[in-house]
Amino acid sequence: MNCFTYKQFWVSWKAENIKVGRQNSTDNILLAYEDPCPFFLQDLQISTDHGGNVNWIIEVPASNVNITTTGGLMNNVSLSTSGIFVNETTELRFEVRGCRDAHLRLLTQKTQIPPYYLIMIGGWHNNKSVLARHAHYYQEVDNDFGYGEMNCSNYKKFILSWSGGKLQVGREDINGDLLLSYVDPCPFFIQDIQINTEHEGHVEWIIQVPVPTSIQSDPVESKVVDGMFHFETNCPTFQVLTTTTAAHLNECAAICMWSFECSAFEFVNHGRVCELVSNIAVAKTLSSYYRILK
């Protein structure tokens, strides 16, 4: 185990062979047992003892959910209420079939209020795709002109990711065929995704239920230097975690870095006030923060 870093394990119980391994290698066996009289397993229970505190990231087999959005009817479908989206998600794979206008909103709240990111695939009669950031105002940050991104008869595959403020939309594979991309200098936490279509469109979606990934960065163990944080002025207003005191700017940065939830901070030299904030945006009004570069 490690207090600061996640370690990967796997467990299998095929037939009478029970094995526990490290990481993704089937050769790196930690524990093994061959039961001469095995029994059927109906559930798994996880726990910790002796006052311990353990964070788990559990990978589940991928499955697909089918959703249809129609302008004015089955529209604005929240993926969290459909059992698809969880906060630990930073990637979404999906297929769409329709003549135009497959829209996704990446929400920092559970309702459709700014700030949020907007993705439009096959907009403008299937002639333009757009990635926009709607915080204090609507800003189109990337676009792609080209007819035929959507298809009326056949499903087309896409992958969306938003890890660490780096938003990307790719055709099937982000590494191979990138459609839209943007690096947000002051990103906000995504709590839900809403899908819809407009202009009386009809879109059929096949959404792969995502595997949770870690959203927490390892605590910083080394000495804090100025290059570990950056002052940003174009941020939405973030949720305040706590307010404390610090002798100087770097000490406030260190307090933030040692907090799993802290993504940015404000420091007022007069009074030595250190305010830690998360990356959950609570208002679209602009604020300035020192953002941790994790």
3-state secondary structure the chain: CCCCCCCCEEEECCCCEEEEEECCCCCCEEEEEECCCCCCCCCCCCCCCCCCCCCCCCCCCCCEEEEEEECCCCCCEECCCCCCCCCCCCEEEEEEECCCCEEEEEECCCCCCCCEEEEEEEHHHHCEEEEEEECCCEEEEEEEECCCCCCCCCCEEEEEECHHHEEEEEECCCCCCEEEEEECCCCCCCCEEEEECCCCCEEEEEEECCCCCCCCCCCCCCCCCHHHEEEEEEEEEEEEEEEEECCCHHHHHHHHHCCCCCCEEEEECCCCEEEEEEEEEEEEEEEEEEEECC
What local confidence, expressed as pLDDT, does residue 105 receive? 95
What local confidence, expressed as pLDDT, does residue 215 receive? 41
- Which residue's entry shows tokens 């726990």? 47
Structure tokens at 199: 């202009």
C-alpha 91/C-alpha 170 separation (Å) is 11
Q: Is the dihedral of CA 67, 211, 192, 121 positive or negative?
A: negative
- Position 17: which residue type? N
Q: Which residues contact 176 (CB under 8 A, 6 or more apart)?
A: 170
The whole-model pTM stands at: 0.66
Per-domain residue ranges of the chain: 1-56, 64-208, 226-292
Category of 72 on φ-ψ map: left (φ > 0), alpha (ψ -120 to 50) or beta: left
Residue 123 sits at φ, ψ, to 5 deg, of -80, 175
Domain 64-208 matches domain 226-292 at the CATH topology level: no
The mean predicted confidence, pLDDT, of the chain is 85
C-alpha 244/C-alpha 142 separation (Å) is 39
Has domain 226-292 been given CATH number 3.50.4?
yes
Longest dimension (CA), the chain: 71
Each of the 294 residues of the chain gets a pLDDT tens digit; together they read: 888 788 889 898 887 789 999 976 677 899 999 887 878 787 788 888 887 788 887 776 667 888 889 876 557 888 887 778 777 778 899 999 999 999 999 998 877 888 999 999 999 999 999 999 998 889 999 999 989 999 999 999 999 999 888 999 999 865 678 999 999 988 988 989 999 998 878 999 999 877 655 443 333 333 455 578 889 888 999 999 999 998 888 889 889 988 888 999 999 988 899 999 999 998 888 899 999 886
- Position 283: which residue type? A
Structure tokens at 159: 């992958």
Has domain 64-208 been given CATH number 3.40.50.970?
no
Q: What is the pLDDT of residues 153-208, one digit of tens each?
A: 999 999 999 988 899 999 986 567 899 999 998 898 898 999 999 887 899 999 98
